[in-house]
Structure 1
């Protein structure tokens, strides 16, 4: 086969579009590839021609230099594509199938996978449970912001769309199934959102907006989204959310103006470790702010869903404790209020088929709600810059020009 164009991390604040190797059914050495995975045979995998691959806030953490990601790492874990080649051990997925790829890489064979905990598979990352494409310390599986990508354990991992033509008509919605829609859904579901719930979602980025969409789908009576970014707050209001501008101070007072009480039934942290302060401290990075706020405004006996990313290594942190992921959270407050917490990667496979059906049968408009915007792979560097500036858009790369734009 021919070559392959991909998006690569080129150092803090930089991404490049590079020419790279066409994938094969064997993991090769390269930036970020775990040495123990080099030479690993992937006869159970497929090669996808990428239809859509999205820029994620998790990618942005690496590009800002806030992780230990090596230069040259091919980025991208939100992947939707068409199968163009199958390994000899693939039985059910066929060439020509159009599929969504969960960002978690899972073997389907280990204890955790069999229990549905596909975000912490035991067999795909030699260093620790859990793996993902194109992400630091995640085993070194090559990223999918590319024209072609290798997907292992294809019969287990891939979600095949039932009708290819219908799927292409809704591809801007369906591309969100690889990560942010299930991740947002996981956040609100584990926070206990059910019919009639009131919910506060910290963060109006794409994951926060996806969580708000999921909360509405689950029947929440009031969905409140908090952020510092006025453009993103306006995007939340565009599909019926209430909003809180945390630059104006503690969200509790604004929540009371909306609900009549200063607490919600369910709280969600869709911000993560690069959180900023509130009110007069809005310009300062304070990584524990959101966790402490969400505990404060969630009722006693409530639950917190935490899809926002927290890391064990943050070289850009302002204090030594935060550099190793140690934050000053008020665990005593959460204990006193009998809160339950759910953290970690979303197990995408737990939700993606149901959410696919909701999209295909017009029960939700996730692409509209997150303002999905298609760009070419050559525009990726500018897309990263625009996303980092805080625009209210979810950038979808169109590496093989298969998405009709306009």
Structure 2
């Protein structure tokens, strides 16, 4: 049948745009049978993808650093237009423009009722929590595509109040599906508030979003650390201080040059398990976690939106292959640190951040250097992003994203 282009992981370093069948109002067969739900999904909608972004989490899979199999569809950062809806969808209409939280959530389980939508109990037979187009997340088809199915639509989707206003700001609003809430979650759970000094590890899109969010939350100084000069320049473009962790000077010394003290109030890990040692040395997956415990004051808080996995076939040692890292937990314990990890529960934040965008209080697209390309150009976007481009690639399948 065909009719739906979709980005697919083929082998380490290689993605392709393939023609798949159009999505149906059905949940994956494995989810339905394991969770005791019907395959038919009257609670779902089909979206025409207005925009869909390449994420650093996708890049982990494409590098071969997860257990993703060849043929894994990709894409969990989705903004779309409702083009079909099930009979049980009550509050969304054909033609609505909506943002899709990357977390798939049922809205009915204990965790969803508590607001912990990142660890829904009913959408993934393998573990709590699910996402579109991601390994070990329940087999839901990815959204780097022309069309995608979204279940439990009334619960999951956030409708933009005005179609024209939404399309005019879509470069900002497309960030609501993941990196803006995720970066905000990292800063918020780290306790950033008025006058805080903040260290953000990593100047990729999530790190830049966390740094920008820290500014929104009132931080006095935001310091961003990375090895990539282009990405550090992007952080400086909206007022951050930066440190190059590839230098010989220690992180503590570089922070002290900025703050006159070698500690910050709070810190965010936006790097995750593919961290490198200082100076660009060999991979050290616990490097960032140990760094942020070292430079965060006693009784400080650490937000950890950076991805850590339970299966990493490309890791440098047997422990790291199963996500067992050499973290200095004793240091964090001695300093009474509080740590928050895991998927961002996007629904906690996306409405407020949407309002900030619509009323010109937030310009996240500029902060992360949003760069719009066609869906057919996704392989190039993945390659350039993997080489360290200081850009957030936004795929535009249908030519609906206005020029910057």
TM-score category of the 2 structures, normalised to the smaller one: over 0.9
Equivalent residue in structure 2 for 1:283, among 277, 281, 284: 281
Is 1:14 the equivalent of 2:14? yes
Distance 1:267 1:179, change over 3 A: same
RMSD: 1.5
TM-aligned CA deviation for residue 153 of structure 1: 0.2
* Pair 1:197 & 2:196 matched: yes
1:219 maps to 218
- Does the Cα contact within 8 Å between 1:26 and 1:42 map onto a contact in 2? yes
| Structure 2 contact 28–140 (Cα < 8 Å) conserved | no
- Cα pair 2:378 2:395 within 8 Å, conserved: yes
CA contact (8 A) 2:176 2:354 kept: yes
How far does residue 89 in structure 1 lie from its aligned partner after superposition?
Answer: 1.0
> Residue 383 of structure 2: SS of its match in structure 1?
helix
SS in 1 for 2:19: strand
Of residues 154-163 and 32-41 in structure 1, the stretch that sits farther from structure 2 once superposed is: 32-41
CA deviation profile, 1:125-177 (whole Å, cap 9, x unmatched): 11111000000000011000000000000000000000110000100000000
Q: Summarize the alignment of residues 262-277 of structure 1 with structure 2, pairs less than 5 Å apart.
A: 262-277=262-277
Number of aligned residue pairs: give it: 402
Matches within 5 A, 1:3-402: 3-28=3-28, 36=34, 40-249=39-248, 250-279=250-279, 282-402=280-400
Offset of residue 320 of structure 1: 0.0
User: Per-residue CA shift, 1:293-313, capped at 9, x if unaligned?
Assistant: 000000000000000000000
Say which SS state the counterpart of residue 248 (structure 1) adopts.
coil
How far did 1:120 drift? Answer: 0.3
- Give the Cα–Cα distance (whole angstroms) in 2 for the partners of residues 245 and 162 of structure 1: 42
Displacement, 1:39? 7.2
1:27 to partner: Cα distance: 3.4
Match of 2:402 in 1: 404
Q: Structure 1 residue runs of 4+, over 2 Å off?
A: 32-41
Any gaps of 5 or more consecutive residues in structure 1? none
Deviation of the 1:364 alpha carbon: 1.3
Q: Deviations over 1:268-290 (max 9, x none)?
A: 100000000003xx131000000
Contact between 1:215 and 1:223, CA under 8 Å: does it hold in 2?
A: yes
Q: Is the 8 A contact 1:191 1:266 kept in 2?
A: yes
Q: Cα distance 1:33–1:11, how it changes in 2: closer, same or farther (>3 A)?
A: farther
Tell me by how many angstroms 1:400 deviates.
1.2
Deviations 1:36-92 (A, max 9, x none): 479722210000000000000000000000001111111000000000000111111
- The 8 Å contact of residues 34 and 126 in structure 1, kept in 2 or not, is answered as no
SS of structure 1 residue aligned to 2:246: helix
User: Counterparts of 1:405 and 1:382 in 2: how far apart (Å)?
Assistant: 19
- Aligned-partner Cα distance in 1 for 2:71–2:2: 21
Deviation at 1:26, TM superposition (A): 1.5
- Structure 2 CA distance for aligned equivalents of residues 9 and 35 of structure 1: 26
Give the TM-score normalised by the residue count of structure 1.
0.97
Give, in whole Å, the separation in 1 of the partners of 2:316 and 2:136. Answer: 22
1:52–1:399 Cα contact (<8 Å) kept: yes
Q: TM-score, normalised by structure 2?
A: 0.97
SS of the residue aligned with 1:187? helix
Give the 3-state SS of the residue equivalent to 1:10 in structure 2: strand
Partners in 2 of 1:2 and 1:68 — Cα distance?
27
